[in-house]
Amino acid sequence: MKKMTRITLTLLVVFSLMGCATMNETHQTGMYGEEKDSTYLLEYFSIPVMEGTIETSRFDSAMMAVIQRDVVDETNLNIFKSLIEATNLSELAATYSEEKAITRLTKAGLFSVDSEIAPFVACAIDANLVTPMVAKELLASSSLNGEVATYLLMQVAKTNGLARNSIGNISDKDILEKISLAFNGYSLFTDNNLDKIGALAVQQKASTGYNLKKDSDRANFLSSYTLKYGHADETHLKQLVVLLNSEDIDAKMQIEPKVSVYEYLLDWGPVPEPDQFYSVLQFSDDLYLAYAVEYDVRFEFKDVSDLNKFDGIINTYSKKNDTNQAEGSEVRLIKGAWWQPLYSASFNPDEESFKEIVDCVLEENGYSIHPFSLKETSQELVSALEDLSGLEVSVEPFYVNNAFYRYLTGEDYQ
């Protein structure tokens, strides 16, 4: 057999299935992943949108971009074996005897699969890397199209923990339980070096405070559909999530715990006894710093329309002002409503509702500190942080809601 013929026939190590015809476009709709998967691969892995028939070399490059290692044999691509190797399941697949593989495939509705590939197909289905329907489509096709390639790359990214980091969706029936379980694991944490730098910046009046975060908690959501909302109270978050659900808004969500660090003024009273969520430390003769466990919750909305509804919902149900706090007011807010709630996006969802500020980020050893700044004063903060740390500061513009912007500028307390 000529080499090129062999490559074509074995592109997916395909074997015809009795009675398995190629599905039409209608049947395929919604079969492969989510509609935003192509956007995700572009944002996080710089993989251009995949359309039409995908050459083996392009799929190889895309897989390399996701997992940073070569698992694709360009001369004789076995798609199922590549999936198994890309998700570190090779030893498991090797335990599938021919009898077990046939049994598992028969249960999945797959018949007449070649014995050489059967263990990989069965293992891929058992690991939920592909559904039985997708496996049938792969086995029946002589080429790899963009939709399928996108789906497979996202499956590999998800399985390796390289995609979204989410506790669930607002609409999940057990979302309140998931929130409770997440908060059960939160407590004060520190990165000694970055904390020292942040404290020095506060002492030098370069910053009024900062947030310390861990990279492992990062949501990795699609930035063009995501808002970040900061708060400190667990019950507040539960009420907010149910409120959004009651307004028919759904979104993926992730809680990113943080330690909020700010100056503690002795005018506030005696320094309280420390616990796992709050501590006040004396940094110098006249500087005390409070360390408080708080959180950012990120919401990846289905569309920008839902994202833009968030501002109105917060202003109606979760923001204090002179009117709704006046004696006799019948306005009811959710627990933990603030005068200056804080939510932001990496883009400007609405120029009337959001204003640009700057996050001056220092990163080291899986931790990062985030002192905020107005644009016009950011260079002073950047210079101070770089002088104190010897590290490069990442200046990241982002857009905050009007109430928090007014608070930063001192324009208004509400």
Tell me the per-residue pLDDT of 80-96, one tens digit each, with 9 for 90 and over.
999 999 999 999 999 99
Give yes or no: residues 24 and 41 share one domain. Answer: yes
Give yes or no: residues 148 and 197 share one domain. Answer: no
Cα-Cα-Cα-Cα dihedral of 14, 18, 23, 27, to 10°?
-120
**Average pLDDT of the segment spanning 311-316:** 97
Rounded Cα gap, residues 61 and 47, in angstroms? 9
**Predicted confidence band at 16 (pLDDT cuts at 50, 70, 90)?**
very low
**Average pLDDT of the segment spanning 36-65:** 96
Give yes or no: residues 225 and 310 share one domain. Answer: yes
Q: Contact 281/292 with Cβ under 8 angstroms?
A: no
**Average pLDDT of the segment spanning 404-413:** 89
DSSP state string for 6-51: HHHHTTTT----TT-PPPPHHHHTTTSS-TTHHHHHHHHH--PPP-
Question: pLDDT value at position 15?
Answer: 34
- What pTM was estimated for this model as a whole? 0.89
- Determine, yes or no, domain membership for 356: yes
- Determine, yes or no, domain membership for 237: yes
Give yes or no: residues 146 and 208 share one domain. Answer: no
- Determine, yes or no, domain membership for 212: yes
Phi and psi at 38, nearest 5°, equal -65, -40
- Determine, yes or no, domain membership for 104: yes
- Determine, yes or no, domain membership for 359: yes
**Average pLDDT of the segment spanning 98-114:** 96
**Average pLDDT of the segment spanning 192-210:** 93
Give yes or no: residues 274 and 220 share one domain. Answer: yes
Give yes or no: residues 151 and 257 share one domain. Answer: no
Choose among 226, 183, 262, 214: nearest CA to 366: 214
**Predicted confidence band at 167 (pLDDT cuts at 50, 70, 90)?**
very high
Give yes or no: residues 109 and 221 share one domain. Answer: no
Instruction: State the alpha helices, DSSP H only, in 204-254.
Output: 234-246
Q: Where a domain ends, among 124, 159, 194?
A: 159
Q: Where a domain ends, among 159, 190, 211?
A: 159
Structural domain that includes position 321: 168-409
- Determine, yes or no, domain membership for 414: no
pLDDT higher for 284 or 99? 99
**Distances in whole angstroms, Cα of residue 148 to Cα of each of 11, 28, 121, 125:** 14, 10, 16, 15
* Tally of structural domains, the chain: 2
Give yes or no: residues 149 and 174 share one domain. Answer: no
Give yes or no: residues 244 and 117 share one domain. Answer: no
Dihedral sign (CA 331, 333, 337, 342): negative
Average pLDDT taken over every residue of the chain: 91
Give yes or no: residues 178 and 137 share one domain. Answer: no
Give yes or no: residues 115 and 218 share one domain. Answer: no
Q: Contact 17/111 with Cβ under 8 angstroms?
A: yes
Residue 231, pLDDT > 60, answer yes
- Determine, yes or no, domain membership for 10: yes
Q: Where a domain ends, among 115, 142, 159?
A: 159
pLDDT tens string 92-103:
999 999 999 999
Coil, strand or helix: which one is 354? strand
Give yes or no: residues 299 and 390 share one domain. Answer: yes
